[in-house]
Amino acid sequence: MLNKIESKRPRKAAARSLSWTQDPEGVQRSILAAARIEFAEKGLSGARIDEIAARVATAKRMIFYYFKDKQGLYIAVLEEAYARIRAIERTLDLAAVPPVEALKILVGFTFDYHADHPDFVRLVMVENIHHARHLKLSAKIADLNLSAMDMVRDLYARGVADGVFRDGVDPVDIHLTISALGFYNVSNRASIQQVFGHDMGQAQARAGRRASVIDTVLRFVSR
Amino acid sequence: MLNKIESKRPRKAAARSLSWTQDPEGVQRSILAAARIEFAEKGLSGARIDEIAARVATAKRMIFYYFKDKQGLYIAVLEEAYARIRAIERTLDLAAVPPVEALKILVGFTFDYHADHPDFVRLVMVENIHHARHLKLSAKIADLNLSAMDMVRDLYARGVADGVFRDGVDPVDIHLTISALGFYNVSNRASIQQVFGHDMGQAQARAGRRASVIDTVLRFVSR
DNA sequence: GATAAATTTAACTGTCTGGTCCATTTACAC
DNA sequence: GTGTAAATGGACCAGACAGTTAAATTTATC
């Protein structure tokens, strides 16, 4: 109130510099990593840009410089998360494995990936709360899960041909079941634990559940 | 800046009254209903008190009057949602029904309840994003899902005794499978639809999935 | 019909938080 | 080395939003 004269942006004349090296890619990567943690933890509206900036050594300004705005950053995080799971998925080579064994591997992998990447699961939850609005905005993500769907379709067809799987099952149902059983343990871990003590994060509970899930899917498609 | 003298709250001298009837419970119920919609739609941080107040005829002040603060309102919504599903669950009387039939009914009910109450599902998602922090704060909710768990336990034991279910299955696995398969279709509806066109909201897709889910659970426990 | 308690309302505020402005430094071509 | 564009830093701002203040009006009670 008192010395409010000369109001035209006094500024502190940033005298303190102490040198820094330019590293655009590195900065972007750090921002993305910090943002993934923050968005997965607090959701889109709950996440704080200041918090992300604080987590990285970099200044808040850079976030907007590279990602335009909060939504842009969020979409980038989402795209990276989906690209990552797909990259690993590609390394699964099930074509050479007999159907039953291949299905066990696929279910086990899906279960493990979810359990090992709760951030991914939470991001998908957040995105679903937003009715997948941002997924729709991103052309990059369009055909990602289709590859998982294709794996199931192929594997199931081989199993039917071999006579080890029963006929007439919709591969979509197989895929949904695999996803649901891998997803739910992680997405609802907190309420499951709260409501009846079972902590799915514990190695023992997790291993038991894993075996049970594989069994469930196998029994579903078997004759 | 100009006429800032006489600053002591001029007020408009609320001259307009037009009578109102007292209805505390009614007002609280309306607020809860509006809040449920808002929280389910936007999450805890995304929800806006002003928006809730606008949806109800009543003024914002009443929200704080009855529910103290945003978190208090949110917890009240959560408690109501859990109480509601429990109330309906109670009406299921499975003790008199043979195990296989009873299991079909239970799975079908769970599937339908989730599909018919997406708000409930979304609230649970939101709460899990918050690590069930508020569930822990509410003593009321503690033993709610335990009743569902008990139903499964009882039903499974009868099935084993009758020789229609195989031995050695953990009832917790049965319960988790039932919940997961009912929950996932709704919680991930948006991303499922985005990623491969299947809209689980459509009656046809829903009915097909329902039958498949029942089949999955039955095959899991059968000999 | 007077007094207290309950209920409703509008205006107001302090803080938090995306997002911006302008200055400065680094990288690099020539 | 000098000019130029990209990269970085941090103060600053404007709007939004949870929560408050204080008064006004209605119901309940005796």
Chain B residue with minimum CA distance to A206: B173
**pLDDT attached to residue A182:** 98
With a cut of 50, list the residues of chain B below it in pLDDT.
1-18
Chain B residue with minimum CA distance to A178: B181
Give A189's contacts in chain B (Cβ within 8 Å).
Answer: 128
Segment B192-200 long-range contacts (CB within 8 Å, at least 24 positions apart): B192/A176, B193/A132, B194/A132, B194/A135, B194/A136, B195/A135, B195/A141, B195/A144, B195/A145, B195/A146, B196/A145, B196/A146, B196/A149, B196/A172, B198/A172, B200/B115
Q: Note the pLDDT tens digit of each residue in A139-160.
A: 777 666 678 889 999 999 999 9
Residue A14 pLDDT exceeds 50: no
Burial class (CB in 10 A: 0-12, 13-18, 19+), B116: exposed
Give B148's contacts in chain A (Cβ within 8 Å).
Answer: none
- Mean of per-residue pLDDT scores for chain B: 88
The arithmetic mean of pLDDT across residues A55-65, rounded, is 88
The arithmetic mean of pLDDT across residues A123-134, rounded, is 97
Supply the angle between the helices B171-187 and B99-116 in degrees, to the nearest 10. 30
- A6 or B127, higher pLDDT: B127
pTM for the whole structure: 0.90
Is A135's CB within 8 Å of B195's CB?
yes
Kindly list the protein residues whose beta carbon lies within 7 Å of any strand D atom. Answer: A 7, 9-12, 14, 16, 20, 22-24, 27, 57-62, 65; B 9, 11, 13-15, 17-22, 47-50, 60-61, 64, 69-71
**pLDDT attached to residue A7:** 33
Place of tokens 């503690």: B142
**pLDDT attached to residue B97:** 96
**pLDDT attached to residue A143:** 64
Angle at B186 between CA A166 and CA B195, to 5 degrees: 70
- A205 or A9, higher pLDDT: A205
Calculate the angstrom distance between C1' of C23 and CA of A61. 13
The whole-angstrom distance between A10's CA and the closest CA on chain B is 23
Give the lowest-confidence range in A18-22, A84-88, A213-217, B103-107: A18-22
Is A125's CB within 8 Å of B187's CB?
yes
Residue A39 pLDDT exceeds 70: yes
Q: How far apart are the first and last CA of chain B?
A: 83
Q: Note the pLDDT tens digit of each residue in B86-123.
A: 899 889 999 999 999 999 999 999 999 999 999 999 99
